[in-house]
């Protein structure tokens, strides 16, 4: 069988869900990935694009406001409210970093029959020259450190390809909270967890076919 390919963030959302919700999450993701209709997959794309523009804008709030206004005028149900919540969390966080945007690359990371596409939504460089590769989580449910660790570990192992020397971050944009890997994290246990979750994702994907 061909490997299954999804984004690292989709896999993270699977890993953070409870056992009961996992089959429905994978079924929804499978429908989105296999859909020929662009709008199905693009609900959050306009606000993510606005965040990238904001990182290099003298007025970051204005970039997010444009996305909110467009969602009110032409968006789908719930899109404007979601974008407003992202704006309220993201803009203060971005300003607090005093960072500007830098380009990021893309990588692939594989565990068994699951291939994760890794491309940070934002690359940032701080005034002191330090860099961060930021994966942006925008969903309504709050992100947890445990779930963020999944994405952080995958980014750790691909950082040389996506933004060499950068610190991986996962940003819960609605709440303006950035997660980073704790030095106390047991990486061996985390790697075992990710391998098990990857195997489970493949099973759920194929069951939902």
> What's the pTM value of the predicted model, to 2 decimals?
0.90
- Whether the CB-CB separation of 12 and 147 falls below 8 Å is answered with yes
Going by C-beta distance under 8 Å and a sequence separation of 6 or more, which residues neighbour residue 198?
11, 111, 112, 114
Domain count of the fold of the chain: 1
Q: What is the CA radius of gyration of the chain?
A: 17
How many residues in the chain? 209
Placement of tokens 């989105």 in the chain:
32
pLDDT score of 35: 62
In the chain, what are the helix, strand and coil shares in percent, each to the nearest 5? 50, 15, 30
| Interhelix angle 187-207/22-34, nearest 10 degrees | 70
β-sheet with 114-118: strand ranges across: 4-7, 114-118, 107-111
**CA distances to 34, 112, 119, 168 from 181, in Å:** 32, 24, 18, 8
pLDDT score of 204: 86
Residues of the domain holding 173: 4-207
pLDDT score of 20: 64
**What is the rounded distance in angstroms from the CA atom of residue 63 to the CA atom of residue 186?**
39
Per-residue pLDDT of the chain (209 residues; tens, 9 = 90+): 788 999 999 999 888 886 667 778 888 888 777 765 444 457 899 999 999 999 999 999 999 999 999 999 987 889 999 999 999 999 999 999 999 999 999 999 999 999 999 999 999 999 999 999 999 999 999 999 999 999 999 999 999 999 999 999 999 999 999 999 999 999 999 999 999 999 999 998 888 77
């Amino acid at each position: 069988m061909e490997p299954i390919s999804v984004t690292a963030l989709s896999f993270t959302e699977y890993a953070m869900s409870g056992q009961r919700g996992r089959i429905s999450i994978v079924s929804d993701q499978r429908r989105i990935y296999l859909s020929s209709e662009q709008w199905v997959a693009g609900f959050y794309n306009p606000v993510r694009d606005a965040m990238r523009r904001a990182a290099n804008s003298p007025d970051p709030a204005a970039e997010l406001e444009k996305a909110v206004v467009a969602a009110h005028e032409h968006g789908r149900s719930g899109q404007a409210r979601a974008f407003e919540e992202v704006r309220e969390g993201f803009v203060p966080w971005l300003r607090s970093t005093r960072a500007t945007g830098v380009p990021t690359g893309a990588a692939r990371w594989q565990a068994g029959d699951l291939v994760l596409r890794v491309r940070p939504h934002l690359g940032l460089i701080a005034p002191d020259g330090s860099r961060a590769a930021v994966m942006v989580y925008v969903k309504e449910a709050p992100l947890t450190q445990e779930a963020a660790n999944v994405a952080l570990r995958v980014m750790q192992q691909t950082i040389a390809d996506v933004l060499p020397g950068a610190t991986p971050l996962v940003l819960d944009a609605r709440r303006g909270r950035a997660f980073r890997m704790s030095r106390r994290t047991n990486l061996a246990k985390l790697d075992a967890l990710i391998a098990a979750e990857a195997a489970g994702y493949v099973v759920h994907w194929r069951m939902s076919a």
